[in-house]
Structures are given as structure tokens and as C-alpha cells.
Structure 1
Amino acid sequence: MTGLADADLNGTHRTFTWGHTALESEFAVAADGTPRLVRLGGTPPADPEAALPLVELTALGHGSGWSGPRFTGTAFGARLAYRGHRTARHGDWERLTVELHDPATGLTAFAELSSPDGIAVLRSRVRLRNDGTEPLVVQSVSSLLLGGLPSPDALDVHRARNDWLAECRWQSEPLRRAVADINVDAHQHDSRAALVVTGRGSWSTDGHLAMGALTQRDGGRTWLWQIESPAGWRWDLGERAHGSYLALNGPTDAEHQWRVRLAPGEECATVPAALALGSGFDAAMGALTSYRRALRRPHPDHTALPVVFNDYMNTLMGDPTTEKLLPLIDAAAEAGAEYFCIDSGWYDDDTEGWWDSVGEWLPSPRRFPDGGIRAVLDRIRERRMVPGLWLEPEVVGVRSPVAAALPPDAFFQRDGVRLAEQGRHQLDLRHPAARAHLDKTVDRIVGDWGVGYLKLDYNIVVDPGTRAPGDLAPGAGLLGHARAYLDWLADVLDRHPHLVIENCASGGMRMDGATLAVSQLQSTSDQQDPLRYPPIAAAAPTAVPPEQGAVWAYPQPEFDDDLIAFTLGGALLGRIHLSGHLNRMSAHQLGLVRDAVETYKSIRGELARAVPFWPLGLPGWTDEWLALGMRVPAGPSYLSVWRRGGAGELRLSVGHLAGREARAEILHPSAATAGSALWDGDGLRVSLPRTPGVLLVRLTPGG
């Protein structure tokens, strides 16, 4: 463990620095002996007494220094004193570990910070070890704290509502609206108010994305964060010492019934959190996108970006049969699909319905009478596509034979009662029997049947969690299961390295950074209305890199050409997930689909390294015009522009190309009458004469 550097701040505080050229940081030890992050990025250092301690936590018998909803001012936060630090480098990542210790209890905390070279993102988690002689019941632990931010008067806060069929809906407001000015000087006390946003239950992003942002109102700096929790999480913002603070947490006792008992010698760790910096929201999101790519598990799918056809959305809707699938398979191949995923229902052979009987994951003889499901999978391969199947691995229907075959402790439980939700039990992947059951299932489907794509869905939510033997509280059990689930996914991919996994939970209800770091694709929504999908598609890159964000494109034979183009165009800057009754289309209509797919294939290699920007700002749910851009480093920029109403012409600012020559080229739709796009030297002038309308435009610098 390295000691403090000789540097001195204001003549009183010991300091040390760490980072790289894109993320310089400075730490100081305050008068109470606690280390604090006083500078992050290019800003001047904050007063160490105004900054927050590097770690805050609460434990039974050791509460806060004051009451209120804020996660600051804890008793431990003021006692965990600096004991040393060490640095290391692993591949392209710089790492820093700061050790803190509380002599009163013997608790040792390790703040583990990391950052990938050249990317302005700080990742942090905290590890606790009980070096004392008595057990300690921990109720909350910070993942990342940052104080010394500008006054709430100067900041806007951004958060994203994330609801079923209406994902990624960002909204902003002045931070001062949530944290009133109480005249701190008159009271000699900081405000107790805080803006608190939480995620609860086994749907990690139900209600809000596990994200947020602060922007300086003068157009300056942006702080953008994500909490990488597959279960509960919380962030709060408030006022401290005439400035603002940010506290990022995983689950807590108060919000999630999360508690952990640390016996002497035992350890626990928080979920990680990441903070991106930028000169504006788009710049910070670009840094976060690059960080997400650096963090995730390597996989060939991230650069190949094959086109997936899925038979569910607005098509078979969970009712696949050999008779229905064969013509769809042929049509999907003609349209240019490279994967074909049979969605829910392929296992359904129950006259009472499959919802509460799932769990065995065996194909239905009734649905696939001639040659079984293997004959259909063979047909997919014959048409030069990779076969895929839908699976909901974590649930077992209450009528399923698996519910009786597995031991009781293999399921979520509380007070000795097995939990049931919507006619389903929830497997606990910490139990070896639950894991063995799923390993056998996947190895049969992938290893024996040759399936190369799994859409893993999850359509129930359990709140607050499970209390299995050894769990102190349900929230701790939920986080334990969620971590075990991700560990199981990683193990599956180790055994089947070419398998592609799509993460889905009723669309985007589990769109968190921890899961995205393991899976290859992320479902963005279950939205069935093509006119309501554009704001989801346009905002999805805030939550997921474009090459992982699965966006439905479900053209139908009853659509006119404009609506077919509109439905397809919304997916071309993400990961196109084709559906629709293509087998019933005319040759002309199928040609429109094929043209859009070929356009996507021509640009997808660049999407895998592009970063997003929003020329009209983040989309509103009812906006008549929406726009999403993708900027390729040292390459072109792409713009998807949607019109759902309003006047037929619009000018879009493209700041990184302002004042430069550029050539504007419409890539989609192919019809010359669909609209126009003209670069005027500072922005793009777009005309879409009809609604609904869409254009995909490529802007090439230099003409």
C-alpha cells in the first residue's frame, strides 16, 4: 500500500493524484482523516472540507450524523480514515485502490477505482472487510460519491423514465426545483432535502433507467452516470457546503430490504457505478458508450451485427407451428435475415395454456408434427440462417413438473414459503439444482439441437426478493441471485462461445449495465405501434450501445410504402430486429424490406464504433420531429430523422460539422419522392412531405 505524495493543498491537506490524460483526478485527506475526491477531470480542485468522504455507509448501531433522505453524513463516513493507496494497470485500464479503516469497529473499506485509457469515465465500487472482533450488520454502502459540484442554482438534472412500452423517456428540470434554497447561512446547516431516484425488484430498470445526469445550464460540463446493478439501486442529489453532491448506491435497507451481516474476517462488495464527463450531454454519452464497449465481455457479434428475424412481434405472437414458420423462414431469408429466432410458444403442448406450465423447455409435438422442431431448425439452416429460440430460464410454472422435481430451496422464498408470481415460481440461481436444471436445458438446445441464438426473456417482477437460508434480508437474496444469474450466463458463453444471447425482460425492464456487459443484445421495447416506437429507438443509445440495442422493425403487407419505410427506418441506427408477415407481401413490398436490410448491412460495421448524438435534443414522447445521430470517429456521421406531424421542413444543427463542407446522401428510403436533405454549411435542411416519414442520411465531411 503506497503512502501519500508530498504534494500539499492549501498548506494543510495531504493529497495524491491518479488517472490518465482523459481523466485526471486528485484526492485529499480532510481534517478528520477521511480521504476525499476533490478533483475529477479538468475542473479546479474543491475544498476538501466541502467534498464528500470517499466512502459512506450505515450499519446497525452506527447510523447517520443527522436525519433525512440523503446518503451523506453517516457516522462511518466521518470515521473511515485514510490508511494508504496503491495503483496498478491491467491491460488498457488504470486502477486505484484506496484503503480506509475504522479503529472503533475494525472495519476496513477499499475504494476500488478504475478507468479505461483515453476515456473520461470513472468506475468505482467499495469492498468491505470486517477486521474487528464483533459481527457488523451493514445496511447501505456507497458505490461512488462526488461532492464539491456547482450550486443547484447552476445545474439541471436529467433522469429517464423507463416503463413497459415506453422506455428511455428522458426529462430534465432545474436541480433547485427539487432542492429548495433554505438560506444555509442563516441556519448554519445544509439542507436535508434530496432528489432520490431508486430502482426496486427483479426488474432492475422498471420505472427508471439506472442512470442520470447533471448539466451546467451555461452549456458547460456534464456529469453522466450509470449504476451497474442487476437488482436494486439508488442515486441522490442534494446541496452541501453551497455546492451540490452526487451519491450512487446499490440496494439499501431502507429502499430494498438489503442487509448483510459481516462476521469477523468476512467481506462484501457493492455493485459498481460509473461516472462519465463531457463538455455537454452528447460528449459525456459518447464517453459512456466507449466505456460500455471497453467493459463488456468480448464477442464476435459486437462487430458482425447480423440481422435477426424474430417471429413474435405483430406476427405469430407466441403461436408458432411448422405450417406457419416454414413460409416465414423462406421470406425472411429472401429479405436478407441472417438469424431466425422462434419466439415464445414452441414448447406449448398444454390445453390449459403455457404461462403457468413452463419450465421443462421441451418442444411441442402438436405444434411440430412432422419431424418435430428439429426439422424447422434444419429448414432455417438450409436457408443459410442461424436458428434461435426464445427461453424464459428463471421461471417455472406452478403446474410444471419441474416445480415438484426441484428442491424447495432452489426457488425464491420468504419465511419458509415458496413465492409465486402470476402463476410462476422464480428459480434461485445460487442453488446448484437450479443451475444444473438450466445447464441441462441450454446444453440440450444449443449443444444437441444446434441453436445459435437465445432470446432470454423475464416477464415477472419479484419485490423485494428472496430470503433463502443464509440471507439476512430479501434484498440481499435478490442481489445474490442476480449476480449468480450473470455468472451463469458467463459460464454458458464459456461453454458455447459462438452463442448469441439477447437480454429481454418484457422489453427493456432489465436494461442495466451489469447485464449488458455479459449479453450481446438488449431488447429495447415490446412496443407494437410503429408510430410510437421512434422516441424509444431514438433514445435507446442512452442505455445501450447501438450495436447491442435491438429495435423492432415489423412491416406488414397491409402497410403502404411510406409506413413500411417508416417502420424499417427506425431500426437502421440500432440493431435491426425484423418481423412481420413478410411471406404475405407482394414482390414490391418485399423489395422495400430487402433494400432497407441491405442499407443496414452496408453501414453496420461503422455503427459498431460510432457514438450517438441528438441534433434536436433527447426525444420527447409526443415530439412531431425526432432525430438520432451516429458519429463515426474519423468517418462519416449518420442521421435518422422521423416526422410524425408538424410542418414538412426542418433544420438540424450538427455541431461537430458546423462550418465544414459535407455531402448529404439519403440512404433510406430508396424512393426519390420520400424527402430531401441538404447540407448548408452549418446544418442539415430536411424535407419530409408526408407523415409518417423517415430519412436515413449520411453526412460525409469534405464533400
Structure 2
Amino acid sequence: MSGAFADWVTPGFSARFRIGDDQPAALVSFVPAGGALADGPDDPQPLVELTTIGHGRFPGGFRHVDSTIGARLRPVSWRVSDDATDPWFRIVQADAATGLQVESVFRARADVAAFQTWTEVSADDGEHVVDFVSSFATGAFLTDSGVGVDDLALVHADNDWAAESRWRTDPLRSIGLARIDREAQHHPPRSRAVVQNRGSWSTGEALPIGVLQADGAVPTPYALVWQIEHNGPWLYELGETRRHAYVLLSGPTDQEHQWTAVVAPGQPFVSVPVSVGIAGSVGGAFEVLTAQRRAFRHVREADRALPLVFNDYMNTLMGDPTTEKLLPLIDAAADAGADLFCIDAGWYAEGHWWDTVGAWEEAASRFPTGLGAVIDHVRSRGMQAGLWLEPEVIGIHSPLAVDLPEDAFVHNHGVRVAEHGRHLLDLRSPEARAHLDAVVDRLVGELGVTFFKMDNNTMTGPFAGMLDHQRALLDWLDDVQARYPSLLIENCASGAMRADSAMLSRLHMQSTSDQQDPVLSASIAAAAPAAMLPEQAGNWAYPAPSMSSDLFELSLVNGVLGRMYLSGYLNSMSTSQRAVVRSAIEAHRTVLEVIESSVPVWPLGLPAWEDPWLALGLRATSGELYLSVWALPGAGSSVSMPLSGFAGQEVVVEPLFPTVLGSWSVSWEASAGVLHVGHGGATPTARVFRIRPEEAGAEH
């Protein structure tokens, strides 16, 4: 190792690490490709923060920086690959006092302005109880943006049942970073801004995503974006040091999540992976994050089919399927153009079922001729068949709660965990996995199911071994999909309570909510591609025969720019209503042709929960823009949306769904690149437009 700096240059970005012998390694500059790297301060935020029982922080506090081990780490070696398809960078550091070593691993893909990174901790001798280790930490954003904490704001999202993806932008000074006289105190500030999730629902409180945005008045626009890629507890933290500031990303901790790990010779620990990207704006940050998600997603050939799924649950059968109720719905879904029919909850239940589930065998009283006959009818109508499944739980009154061995269940302090009337299977247990494998083999191998809506409605708090259990779940999912390469799995946990990138990197689609009100669902659908890929955003579209025409259309608009997740009593609709549904499906299929390479844009900014006007666009590589616009209660008569990509050009604005403007109006101001849209009537109402440059010489 020579020199005080190491540069890692890829087609998508450049990064500079300080690796001198007299201080811990640090990422001091991170810029998009072609940007100028900086040396950073003399005392930058260390790349790794690590505490063990016996080696904490100095000074003490709630923050996870200022760790004594982190301050003692010294670089041992660094390596960089010359593999253009799998660029990586590794830095090894050691702490002489404890004998612990840490290796920071960075991976990149193609020309994406982002990297994935994690920390590996190992020991030369003895046992060390690790109670915190960062996956990543840096203060490079101050160097690269040229601003101070006063100029920085955090873009982040609260997440809750039926109220997902509630985005907001908060100056750091307003969410925990108090301004104090640092020189007078002779110590760094102790305040911090924290976003975290504490239970087994990885997104039950917040999304593990953030954008640190420099104020628009700064010399160089700057946005640092990240996501934590873990299906359990996590946190990210922002704060100030004596002269600088930092952002730190982590999986579970002892302080917040009662997590520890023993590290010993031959027994290393690997932190959860995170991705970090760089852009010049919030919109650019999500474009980078979209590219990063695609680059690290495990896409199978079956995923490329992008089937249109009809699900019988939402505002329809609501967990009460029978042969009599299903057959007319199956026929109506096939006539509308669905590719796959999913029978949702209740198919296994003779009566009350919440706390008796676990065997996943059909209820004879619901299907007099057998569930297989219903599935055969689905296939006879040209559709694939799917089932709802909640594999990770056993009801407290299920016979399996007694029949399965005790180590098949999650325990805390020696007591079997029970939440919401269920026990949780411990996926580290061979007996638990054998039970689930038998269920899948029967439903897929015997019934011919090719789609699972995999739900998880039971959130548990911290328990010993949760991190290993969550990783075992991922391993089980990988194994199931390897055995059944045509099987598609939808990720669901009471809607989007587990919409993390660890799950999404390997599953087909994501339920975006359990929200039953189409007006409230609009905000969730409009924000969904900030949390997941647009081709994975399973947005409910549940028109009802009793709805007004505007609301009927709006409920379908919710599903067009994503993965339309169709429901509703199609069999009870009028001929004209069914035609509207078919028109929405046709528009959706047009979007599906480009969705896997499209980039989400928000001309009105990321949707806040009660915004009256919402807009989501998908920009195709061809230059076309598919744009959904919602006018919700309280919306004024018109709105103006900047579409800078079309500035100075004449464009064609076509109604994609509904195929006529009706009371809506649009006008284009080419010089400013602004689209003016009016709804011209009562709200709520919505439209989907296709916008493309006007061809030279075309008649007006």
C-alpha cells in the first residue's frame, strides 16, 4: 500500500478513499463519471464504525459514530478489480488493540452511478461480542456539494399499513441536528437524525431509502441517495462531528434492535448490504436508484412475462372464495384479458381461520368438486392459476402448533413467540423448511399453481437470531425458485410492510398497499416507483359497478403505470363498464412493452400524502413519456407541470386512458417546457397521457 489516497474510477462514478497509515480509511469524495474528485478534510468520517462489549464510543451518546475501534482502525491493504462487468473495490483494516479486522467491500455495475457495499468483521483470536457495525459511513457529501449542514435536507418516507410511501423533505436542522457553538463546547455535537425500522416488518415504519439534498442555491447541485437492502430491522443516521458531518447506514443494532453477534476465529460477521448513489437532483437520484435496482436484481426468464394478474380479494371476495363465487369471476377476468387468476385468502378455511392456519390444505366445504376443478377452469380459460399463501406462520390453534417440533418456531428468551394469534416459523430450522417445502411441492407439483401471493401479516419485535432467520428466509426463497423456475412470487406483508430490496431483488412483484379507497390508493401508486421498480409495483385497480364514471376510471388509472393488479366484480358490470376495463388493460399492455427499461419521473415532485394534484411519469428509452395525472378532492381547476426533457420542442399529447379527454384539457408551452392540464369538472378524476416529440414536417 502506498500513497495517502486510492481512487476507484468506473464508467458510472469516481470515488476517492483516504488510506493513510495514521488514520482510519474514509471515503472522502464520490462524484458522477467525469466529475472532479476532492481530497476532503484532514480528519474525515471513518468508513467503518464498530463497537463491541468492552469497546464502545468516545465521547458516549446515542450516536453510532465516535467508536473507539473505528478510530483505531488502520488500513492494511486495498485491492481493485479490472473486471469491466463486475467492478469491485476492497479495503482491509485492522485494530491492533482487539485483533479485529474489517473489510469494506464495494461492487458496481456497468455505468450506474452507484455502488453496493457492506462490512465483513473477523477476528484473529478470542471471542468478541459485536453490538454495532456500520455497513457504510461517509462525510464526502460536504466536500462534494460545498455546503454545510444548514443547507442540507433529507428526502425520506414514512410507511404504514394502508398509508405507504408518504414522502417528505426535511431540513436536517428540523429533524434532530441542533445547531450549537461547537468551539465553545470543545466537543462534537451529540444530536442525530435517525430513520429506522424496529420489527420483523422491514418497512413497517419507514422506507429504508433516503436522499440527502443540497439546497438549490449551492454552486453545484448535489444529491446522495441510498437504500438499505435488508428484510429486517435497520437504521440510517445523520449527524455532525466537531467540524464536519456524516451519514451512516446499518442493519440491526443492539441499542435499537437488541442485536449482537459473536465474532471469533473462523466465525466472521457480514453486515447487511446497502447501495449508495450520486446525482445532481432528487429526480436524478431516483433514476440512479432505479438503475441500481435493475443491475442487482435476480431476474429469471419467468419474470419477463409480466402477466396481468386478477386477484379476487380487494373490495371483492375479501377472503371468502367458493366455487360458486369464483367461476363467474374467472370467466369475467378471462374475457377482460387477464393472464393469471389468483385465488386469495380463505381457500383453506372451513370457518374462522386466522389463528388456525398452517397446513394450507383446501377447505372441502368451499369447493364441493375440489379446488383442483376450479384451477382447471382457470387454465381452461387460458389463464395461469395462483394462490394466496402465508407460509411463515402457524396459527396458535393450528394442530401444527403441537405437531411441529419446538425448534421449528421462533423463540425469545426461551419462550415461543406469539403475535396476532400466530407463531412464527424459524426458517433456520430444517423441520420448518421441510414443512414449507412440502406445502409448495403439493400446491405447485400437484395442483399446478404457478403464482403465489406470499403474504406476511404478523409483525414481531426483536428476538435472538432475527438477522439469521431473515437471511434464512431469503435462502429458502432462492431455493424454491431454483426448484420451480416458472413459479412467480408476489411479495406482500399487509400490503407493503416488507417492501425492501432484499426481498424485491429476488421476487416477481410487490403489493403496494392494502388500501381499499381508490382515491387514497392514488398517492400510493404515484409514489411506488420511488420504493421499487415500476415493473414490480403491484398497484390495485378495483373498479366497482356502483362507482361514478370518473371514480371508475381513476381506480383503473392507479394500475396503468406499474403492474396492474386487477380486482372487482367484473361479472356484475355493464357492457360499457367492461369495455372501459378492457381499454385500461390495453393501455397497460402498451406501458408493459417499455416498463422494464423506463425511468420514473415526478413532474410535480414526489407525492405527499394529501397532495390534491399527483403526477407520475415513466420515461421510455424511445423518448416517449407515459404520464398519469390525478386531480383529487381539493385540486384546483388546472396545474402546470414542467417537463424539461421536452423543453424547446413541439410535442404530441395523446390520451392513453381513457382514450378521450372528456372534460380534461391539455396545452403545451414549448419554450418553457411546461404542460398545462385542467380537469374541467368535479374531482376525483384521473387520466393517463402519452407524450412524444412531434415528428419534423408533421401537420398540426
TM-score, normalised to structure 1, is: 0.95
Q: Does 1:153 align with 2:153?
A: no
Q: Which amino acid aligns with 2:544?
A: Q
Deviations 1:631-657 (A, max 9, x none): 112431111100013222221101222
Q: Does 1:98 align with 2:91?
A: yes
Report the equivalent of 2:145.
none
Report the equivalent of 2:559.
571
Report the equivalent of 1:494.
482
CA contact (8 A) 1:304 1:605 kept: no
Report the equivalent of 2:639.
650
> How many Å separate the matches in 2 of 1:458 and 1:394?
7
Deviations 1:104-160 (A, max 9, x none): 22111110011112111121100111112x110000100011114331111111210
Q: Of the candidates 23, 32, 43, which is equivalent to residue 33 of structure 1?
A: 23
SS at match of 2:212: strand
Unaligned runs of 5+ in 2: 143-147, 696-700
Q: Does 1:479 align with 2:472?
A: no
SS at match of 1:598: helix
CA contact (8 A) 1:46 1:148 kept: no
Q: Which amino acid aligns with 1:307?
A: L
CA shift, 1:31, in A, is 6.2
Q: Does 1:299 align with 2:300?
A: yes
Q: Of the candidates 18, 38, 47, which is equivalent to residue 8 of structure 2?
A: 18
Report the equivalent of 1:614.
602
Report the equivalent of 1:550.
538
Report the equivalent of 2:403.
405
Q: Of the candidates 127, 135, 144, which is equivalent to residue 136 of structure 2?
A: 144
> How many Å separate the matches in 2 of 1:284 and 1:71?
26
Deviations 1:222-256 (A, max 9, x none): 11111111111011101124332100010000000
CA shift, 1:677, in A, is 2.5
CA contact (8 A) 1:96 1:113 kept: yes
> How many Å separate the matches in 2 of 1:122 and 1:367?
51
> How many Å separate the matches in 2 of 1:224 and 1:239?
18
Q: Of the candidates 437, 440, 447, which is equivalent to residue 438 of structure 2?
A: 440
> How many Å separate the matches in 2 of 1:497 and 1:417?
38
CA contact (8 A) 2:603 2:643 kept: yes
Report the equivalent of 1:361.
360
CA contact (8 A) 1:640 1:697 kept: yes
Q: Does 1:696 align with 2:688?
A: yes
Q: Which amino acid aligns with 1:117?
A: A
CA contact (8 A) 1:666 1:676 kept: no
> How many Å separate the matches in 2 of 1:143 and 1:678?
48
CA contact (8 A) 1:553 1:570 kept: yes
Q: Which amino acid aligns with 1:165?
A: A
> How many Å separate the matches in 1 of 2:245 and 2:23?
22
CA shift, 1:671, in A, is 3.5
Q: Which amino acid aligns with 2:414?
A: G
> How many Å separate the matches in 1 of 2:231 and 2:669?
46
> How many Å separate the matches in 1 of 2:193 and 2:301?
41
> How many Å separate the matches in 2 of 1:672 and 1:135?
69
Q: Does 1:592 align with 2:580?
A: yes
Unaligned runs of 5+ in 1: 7-13, 466-473
Q: Which amino acid aligns with 2:152?
A: L
CA contact (8 A) 1:32 1:78 kept: no
Report the equivalent of 2:676.
685
Q: Of the candidates 648, 657, 670, which is equivalent to residue 668 of structure 1?
A: 657
Report the equivalent of 1:52.
45
Q: Which amino acid aligns with 1:656?
A: G
In structure 2, the CA distance between the partners of 1:253 and 1:573, relative to structure 1 (3 Å rule), is same
Q: Which amino acid aligns with 2:665?
A: S
Deviations 1:401-434 (A, max 9, x none): 2111211011011232211112111000000000
CA contact (8 A) 1:666 1:677 kept: no
> How many Å separate the matches in 2 of 1:99 and 1:216?
32
CA shift, 1:678, in A, is 2.7
> How many Å separate the matches in 1 of 2:479 and 2:625?
37
CA contact (8 A) 2:345 2:388 kept: yes
Deviations 1:454-499 (A, max 9, x none): 000000111012xxxxxxxx2xx11111110011001000011111
> How many Å separate the matches in 2 of 1:321 and 1:194?
54
Q: Which amino acid aligns with 2:201?
A: W
Deviations 1:32-80 (A, max 9, x none): 3321111111354243434211211100110111112222110111112
Q: Which amino acid aligns with 1:316?
A: L
CA shift, 1:276, in A, is 1.5
> How many Å separate the matches in 1 of 2:628 and 2:316?
25
Q: Does 1:112 align with 2:101?
A: no
How many residue pairs match? The answer is: 679
Q: What is the root-mean-square deviation of aligned Cα atoms in Å?
A: 1.4
CA shift, 1:618, in A, is 1.0
In structure 2, the CA distance between the partners of 1:663 and 1:206, relative to structure 1 (3 Å rule), is same
Deviations 1:514-557 (A, max 9, x none): 11111111111000001111111111111001000100000011
Q: Does 1:639 align with 2:639?
A: no
> How many Å separate the matches in 2 of 1:632 and 1:615?
15
Which residues in structure 2 correspond to 1:368-387 (within 5 Å)?
A: 368-370=367-369, 372-387=370-385
CA contact (8 A) 1:109 1:129 kept: yes
SS at match of 2:54: coil
CA shift, 1:89, in A, is 5.5
In structure 2, the CA distance between the partners of 1:190 and 1:502, relative to structure 1 (3 Å rule), is same
SS at match of 2:108: strand
SS at match of 2:597: coil
TM-score, normalised to structure 2, is: 0.95
Q: Does 1:129 align with 2:122?
A: yes
CA contact (8 A) 2:410 2:425 kept: yes
Deviations 1:587-644 (A, max 9, x none): 1100100110011112212111111111111112111111011111243111110001
SS at match of 2:593: helix
Q: Which amino acid aligns with 2:304?
A: T
Runs of 4+ in 1 over 4 A off after TM superposition: none
